Structure 1
């Protein structure tokens, strides 16, 4: 019997590992995210090994580290150490399930309420960890569902955490049914509950998309965005160190001139809002300021809004690097100045306040953030609360997070009902409307097609998430605590009943 159980447990663990390779990271398959935890939960239920959790951790660690290699800014052995820490966090919901579910057994059966342990633990963990994480909610469960619009529309109501709960509840339901031998009379009510919730979510998403107005029927503004040069900070830093500041300034000034020149082309193409990618104006403070002033003059002359991302360095100074976004209006004034608040530990840059400015324009309300800022949905929800219609998000990527990082920005569009213009250096550029519908994409340089000229809606749909915030995470956290207390008291009461029964029988 033990040999049979061991063999069954090992098979379950292997199947989990195979699915988990595709549950996140480079090779994400949406269905794998739903299926992989089924076999993990089943393995932990079936296995009687004392070291089963260690074996589970090893498989989880390996199958998480491989698909995420290159997706973190850490390489070599350090990547696997970093992912070991992430795996320790990721196994917490499984540990909670293993601890609480045995305490919920009643009369030889696992009650339906036990199905909430795993999704509540997973949702609470994601809520708490992403709130304190220096990389935001990068790797959140819901991102795996990109490309399934009828599901991702749920984030307009619940944010990402609603998807996390839904995707995590499914394997818990299956494992519960398995524990009950798939006996229909025992599981039909629970299966029916999930069979109501999932179609309701899909139905909501389908209905929201069905009534969404076509872009062609809305008032729009022409937006141009483009990437002209792949900026490699390592090369520029080497140039500065080896050849000095004059050579560095010459190289960066050349790039600035190219962006100013291409802006004139965008104006000729009828653009009213123009966006450059992150790092477009990289340079010493004096050169950055000069380019911004030229951009202001150009914006005034052409009567356009010009968004200019800047990366300011201070050679021979201890002053922190600055990663900022400046937006000049048709009067030539800087009406928006945003300091990047996300990913600062990775860059060593000055951390912004996290306050997002929204500017009223003839083309709707305009907001702007920079790249990694989009990984913080709670912060970005300011965009929805201030009823921004267009969110600018210039970005710089590396191969390992392309295109997943751009795809993450699409969720911010759905959550806040704002069109997102994400122009990227060395990665996918994408323009989506407030429903997450793709309006344009590009990759590489402008000569390769990364020159986007798009008519973007000037009004946005209203969404609930910016109003209620992460209430799903709060409810999940409180719900898990309540369920844990209930399980502990119920378990104690059951033991007392067993003792009293034994005494009475004796």
Structure 2
């Protein structure tokens, strides 16, 4: 017959599992909460540490799978059955850092033992980001954007350092569960010291006096409710070129009217959203001529998101941004480098082009490209002062997806303006301080105006890349080997 102590311990385990699973469901994704992001891994790790390794791993995998299904349901356009399988696989991977910590940490103890979980978590996030078609989606750092002093750390370590500290908190506080009597807790002290250093750096980066910077007035357009998402809707067939061209001209009439309003309000740089101009490929010369005339007449730069449809049925479309100068020149075209899985478009070369202007150097990427830090690093190393991001989201990923892009500005040390057709348009400086934003689902067709600073500076992260993720992988390997050696030494004695 089980003792009262055993029953109490069992109840505690399952209570931790239940509370941890609930917190995990709000620790990331479209329902994320900063408090839950810190508490969830601490509760789950405690459950694992007082459970047998196998059953603890199995239960944690189920909890992580449930949380994966809840946190991103609707964000990924996939049937529930397929998404459930994907979530189950994610759960298995998500439980691995907990299992590694359960097996290795007790054999290391102290500060080294507390580093197993965060090192394993960051290593997993980094490896997944390299192999997943969704890049850095689900990285724990993105939830910390409102915690701006901590988010500034991304300029040094990328998102990996922010995610490390969140995970380290979970392992550092485990000592508080183990005894009611006050005692030395070197792991918690080490974590606290590093957190204070990170916040101190964030405060310096955020509030230290900076030299005056030239600014440029930018306008970011969003899609008016009067415009369909697809230019060919209402045309009886693909061969009805007259109807399709008429629809394309109607779209341009609206877009150029909005742009004229922006120019009259003192804007020097106008950014259209992803796929704003839509047309069959033979229509493009007419669009280019009209854009050139507009920029000459209004003396502005125009970054026009455009979707070019080929004549051959079934051929891939071209999703691009076309940059026009006040002299009426088409300076360059940038083709979206990384299509969303299933997106029927040509993949670009991944080459971030730039344009020097009287107020600074511009760079352009498109929407999903901003989920891959390497493109932001490339822009930074090429001296970009302002990165422009035409984009298009859907309600389920708003505002999360737009806020993710802000980390590219922090990592790269440049200002950023994101113009979303549907979703969050946002302007931010190089520290991640929001200069303005607009949710098109609340205000369709609104124009976001912002005065963007034009003084980009390559950050430590831009120069050295994912070095912190590499350090975490090396640390995990060293800690694992140390734990294995400890096991053999104990057996030998």
TM-score bracket, shorter-length normalisation: over 0.9
1:253 aligns with 2:249: yes
Provide TM-score, normalisation by structure 1: 0.90
Aligned mate of 1:196, from 193, 198, 213 = 193
Distance verdict in 2 for CA 1:449–1:234, change over 3 Å: closer
Cross-structure match for 2:214: 219
Aligned mate of 1:324, from 305, 314, 320 = 320
**Cα distance in 2, alignment partners of residues 366 and 329 from structure 1:** 11
Distance verdict in 2 for CA 1:117–1:332, change over 3 Å: same
Cross-structure match for 1:10: 14
**Cα distance in 1, alignment partners of residues 312 and 457 from structure 2:** 49
**Cα distance in 1, alignment partners of residues 439 and 123 from structure 2:** 36
How far is 1:198 from its partner?
A: 0.9
Cross-structure match for 2:99: 95
What is the CA RMSD across the aligned residues, in angstroms?
Answer: 2.4
Counterpart of 1:490 in 2: which secondary structure?
helix
CA deviations 1:436-478 (Å, max 9, x no partner) are 1111112328975721222221223552110110000111111
Distance verdict in 2 for CA 1:345–1:493, change over 3 Å: same
Deviates more, 1:482-491 or 1:341-350: 341-350
Cross-structure match for 1:504: none
Distance verdict in 2 for CA 1:246–1:51, change over 3 Å: farther
Cross-structure match for 1:369: 365
Distance verdict in 2 for CA 1:261–1:395, change over 3 Å: same
Distance verdict in 2 for CA 1:9–1:240, change over 3 Å: farther
Counterpart of 1:278 in 2: which secondary structure?
coil
**Cα distance in 2, alignment partners of residues 94 and 239 from structure 1:** 55
1:394 aligns with 2:401: no
1:471 aligns with 2:475: no
1:288 aligns with 2:292: no
How far is 1:167 from its partner?
A: 0.6
Kept in 2, the 8 Å contact 1:159–1:465? The answer is yes
1:69 aligns with 2:73: yes
Counterpart of 2:369 in 1: which secondary structure?
helix
Kept in 1, the 8 Å contact 2:111–2:190? The answer is no
How far is 1:183 from its partner?
A: 5.0
**Cα distance in 2, alignment partners of residues 390 and 335 from structure 1:** 16
How far is 1:141 from its partner?
A: 0.5
Counterpart of 1:346 in 2: which secondary structure?
coil
Cross-structure match for 1:143: 142
Larger helix percent: 1
How far is 1:115 from its partner?
A: 0.6
Kept in 2, the 8 Å contact 1:226–1:446? The answer is no
1:47 aligns with 2:58: no
Cross-structure match for 1:418: 414
How far is 1:319 from its partner?
A: 2.8
**Alignment coverage as a number of residue pairs:** 488
**Cα distance in 1, alignment partners of residues 55 and 196 from structure 2:** 39
Please list every run of at least 4 consecutive aligned residues from structure 1 whose deviation after the TM superposition is greater than 6 angstroms.
none
Kept in 2, the 8 Å contact 1:225–1:453? The answer is yes
Kept in 2, the 8 Å contact 1:384–1:417? The answer is yes
**Cα distance in 2, alignment partners of residues 291 and 450 from structure 1:** 23
Kept in 2, the 8 Å contact 1:344–1:350? The answer is no
Cross-structure match for 2:23: 19
Counterpart of 1:147 in 2: which secondary structure?
coil
Counterpart of 1:200 in 2: which secondary structure?
helix
**Cα distance in 1, alignment partners of residues 349 and 388 from structure 2:** 18
Distance verdict in 2 for CA 1:200–1:344, change over 3 Å: same
Distance verdict in 2 for CA 1:485–1:281, change over 3 Å: same
1:488 aligns with 2:484: yes
Kept in 1, the 8 Å contact 2:221–2:272? The answer is yes
Counterpart of 1:422 in 2: which secondary structure?
strand
Counterpart of 1:391 in 2: which secondary structure?
strand
Cross-structure match for 1:456: 452
Distance verdict in 2 for CA 1:4–1:97, change over 3 Å: same
**Cα distance in 1, alignment partners of residues 309 and 174 from structure 2:** 55
Distance verdict in 2 for CA 1:392–1:195, change over 3 Å: same
Distance verdict in 2 for CA 1:49–1:409, change over 3 Å: closer
**Cα distance in 1, alignment partners of residues 449 and 16 from structure 2:** 50
Kept in 2, the 8 Å contact 1:228–1:446? The answer is no
**Cα distance in 1, alignment partners of residues 78 and 475 from structure 2:** 36
How far is 1:249 from its partner?
A: 3.4
How far is 1:293 from its partner?
A: 2.6
Kept in 1, the 8 Å contact 2:385–2:414? The answer is yes
How far is 1:58 from its partner?
A: 2.0
Kept in 1, the 8 Å contact 2:65–2:89? The answer is no
Counterpart of 2:73 in 1: which secondary structure?
coil
How far is 1:271 from its partner?
A: 1.5
Kept in 1, the 8 Å contact 2:231–2:247? The answer is no
1:210 aligns with 2:207: yes
How far is 1:182 from its partner?
A: 5.6
Cross-structure match for 1:28: 32
**Cα distance in 1, alignment partners of residues 426 and 483 from structure 2:** 47
Cross-structure match for 1:502: none
Kept in 1, the 8 Å contact 2:206–2:431? The answer is yes
Counterpart of 1:341 in 2: which secondary structure?
coil
Kept in 1, the 8 Å contact 2:231–2:279? The answer is no
